[in-house]
Chain A
Amino acid sequence: MKLKYLFIAAALVAISCNNSAKDSEVNSDSTTEQTTDNAISDMSIYNLPSHWTTQDGNEIELKDLKGKVLAMVMIYTSCQAACPRLVADMRNIEKQIPEDKKDDVQYVFVSIDPKTDTPERLTAFAKENQMEKDKWLFLRGTEADTREFAAVLAVNYKKISPMDFSHSNIISVFNQGGELAHQQEGLGVDNKETVQAIIDLAK
């Protein structure tokens, strides 16, 4: 019995050592990157190490989006109530951005239901909504990374049945360095300020 505990303890030590070694590796990686690359600020979402899969099945990190203005929203594709309106809101915002600035803006939909929203499903959703161009990006991550990303956006959500989630309806705008610049809360609200925030940031 005692031996078993020893092994567990030894295993624990091994795990924690491993982890801290990995951590410091990641740490030194990101510092070198920051010194060689354009530095990102402390408040940038590009500090998040999470990995995501796009609707085309590509693996990306958030920092791959660096350099563009981002308009982000969290949805799930089987949603009947708020999400179609959020999608409409995003489309509506995109329409109001002047031609010469359109290329500098990326519209990102992050799924809060990664179990259901496979890349195939996201592709189908993009097609249904005629959002197949590159400027429309659909992302799916692990449940833990999704929860963390929601925490950064101050989006709350909860699964309320096998099919449905309750969630906050927030569209967030990030600048080219990944810092939160503006948030719009609620459905079908006046998006004038959001549009202006994007126009001000985009080149």
Chain B
Amino acid sequence: MKYYSTALFLVFSIFCELYAQNNKMVLVEGGVYLPLYGAEGKTVKVAPFLMDALPVTNADYLKFVQENPKWKKSNVKSLFADKSYLAKWTDDTTFTGLKDAPVNNVSWFAAKNYCECQGKRLPTIDEWEYAAMADENVPDARKIKTYNQYILNWYETPKTFNKPVGSTFKNYWGIYDLHGLVWEWTQDFNAVLISGESRKDVDKDANLFCGSAAIGASDLMNYAAFMRFAFRGSMKARYSSQNLGFRCAKDIEN
């Protein structure tokens, strides 16, 4: 019995280590914030949730496709991923770049399924934006000039997806790399109602979108966030991009 429990302990410790390494989740306390888009001038309440401290890495994703062969590059259905899915992988089980660099070129369907297989889910736009307002010291740094400048500088820096996860700052909640390596999928990315077509429709897409009058940028000064929303609005669920990775989130169990 004693041996058994020791063995069990060892097995668990190994798993624990594996999981602790890449799947550490941190608590983001809830609160209210004023999002860039949405109901006019209305704050949104974000309930407390757990979020991965790090983005999903190449190594994590390799493990996932090995356990779930339908998501291998050669097996994936084109309904769920376009041709650029895992574009830089040389075959089904060989990625290029660092093993602890964030995985990129994954579709929304793939990211969503990855999280579900871990008993998690993708964060919502509101959760992601809420967590990403924080700098090292405060939960909402959006009014701090240097913070916005940092994000915009990153947007201008090429190929940051090659850097290892955890190489940017640890924010107020204990989360790394929300700004600095890759942009990230969110569960409801398709709740963004701006599109490429909006340029050709003079009347603000009134024809394409019901209730579009209620939509407008509530904080245009936050140009960095505007870029993220515009990017989300331009994506489709089967698209993938080398600047786009993901991490998972989870409800808090009572």
A: residues with CB less than 8 A from B are 5-6, 9-10, 12-13, 15-16, 19-20, 23-24, 27, 42-45, 47-48, 79, 81-83, 144, 147-148, 150-152, 154-158, 160-161, 164-169, 185-189
- The distance in angstroms between the C-alpha atoms of A189 and B12, with both chains bound, is 61
Chain B's closest residue to A158 (CB) is B191
Q: Which residues on the A side are within 8 Å of B211 (C-beta)?
A: 81-82, 160, 164-167
Q: Which residues on the B side are within 8 Å of A166 (C-beta)?
A: 193, 209-212, 214-215
- The distance in angstroms between the C-alpha atoms of A151 and B233, with both chains bound, is 12
Given contacts A151-B108, A160-B38, A161-B39, contact A5 B16 (CB under 8 A): yes
Size band of the interface chain B makes with A: 35 or more
Q: Which residues on the A side are within 8 Å of B13 (C-beta)?
A: 6
Task: Pull 19 A–B residue pairs with CB atoms less than 8 Å apart, ordered by A.
Answer: A6-B12, A10-B12, A12-B23, A13-B19, A16-B67, A20-B68, A23-B70, A27-B69, A42-B78, A147-B190, A148-B109, A154-B236, A157-B190, A158-B188, A164-B211, A166-B193, A166-B210, A167-B193, A169-B208
Q: Is B117 in contact with chain A by the CB < 8 A criterion? A: yes
- The distance in angstroms between the C-alpha atoms of A148 and B19, with both chains bound, is 28
Q: Is B150 in contact with chain A by the CB < 8 A criterion? A: no
Given contacts A47-B77, A156-B190, A168-B209, contact A12 B19 (CB under 8 A): yes
- The distance in angstroms between the C-alpha atoms of A47 and B191, with both chains bound, is 23
B: residues with CB less than 8 A from A are 9, 12-13, 15-16, 19-20, 23, 37-39, 67-70, 77-80, 108-109, 112, 116-119, 187-188, 190-193, 195, 197, 207-212, 214-215, 233, 236-237
Pick the contact of A158: B112, B119, B193, B207 (CB < 8 A).
B193
Give 6 closest A-B pairs by Cβ, nearest first.
Answer: A82-B210, A151-B237, A158-B191, A15-B119, A9-B16, A166-B211
Number of A-B contacts (CB under 8 A): 129
Within the complex, what minimum Cβ distance (angstroms) separates A142 from chain B? 12
Q: Is the CB of B191 within 8 A of A20?
A: no
Q: Is the CB of B15 within 8 A of A10?
A: yes
Q: Is the CB of B193 within 8 A of A156?
A: yes
Pick the contact of B207: A5, A6, A154, A186 (CB < 8 A).
A186
Chain A's closest residue to B187 (CB) is A147
- The distance in angstroms between the C-alpha atoms of A75 and B68, with both chains bound, is 34
- The distance in angstroms between the C-alpha atoms of A6 and B20, with both chains bound, is 10
Chain B's closest residue to A18 (CB) is B119
Most buried by A among B69, B195, B207: B207
Chain B's closest residue to A31 (CB) is B70
Q: Is the CB of B190 within 8 A of A150?
A: yes
Q: Which residues on the B side are within 8 Å of A81 (C-beta)?
A: 210-211
Q: Is the CB of A155 within 8 A of B208?
A: no
Within the complex, what minimum Cβ distance (angstroms) separates A147 from chain B? 6
- The distance in angstroms between the C-alpha atoms of A81 and B211, with both chains bound, is 7
Most buried by A among B13, B117, B195: B117
- The distance in angstroms between the C-alpha atoms of A12 and B115, with both chains bound, is 12
Given contacts A12-B23, A79-B210, A81-B211, contact A47 B80 (CB under 8 A): yes
Q: Is the CB of A83 within 8 A of B210?
A: yes
Chain A's closest residue to B211 (CB) is A166
Q: Which residues on the B side are within 8 Å of A43 (C-beta)?
A: 77-79
- The distance in angstroms between the C-alpha atoms of A151 and B82, with both chains bound, is 14
Pick the contact of A12: B37, B119, B214 (CB < 8 A).
B119
Q: Is the CB of A15 within 8 A of B12?
A: no
Q: Which residues on the B side are within 8 Å of A10 (C-beta)?
A: 12, 15
- The distance in angstroms between the C-alpha atoms of A70 and B67, with both chains bound, is 35
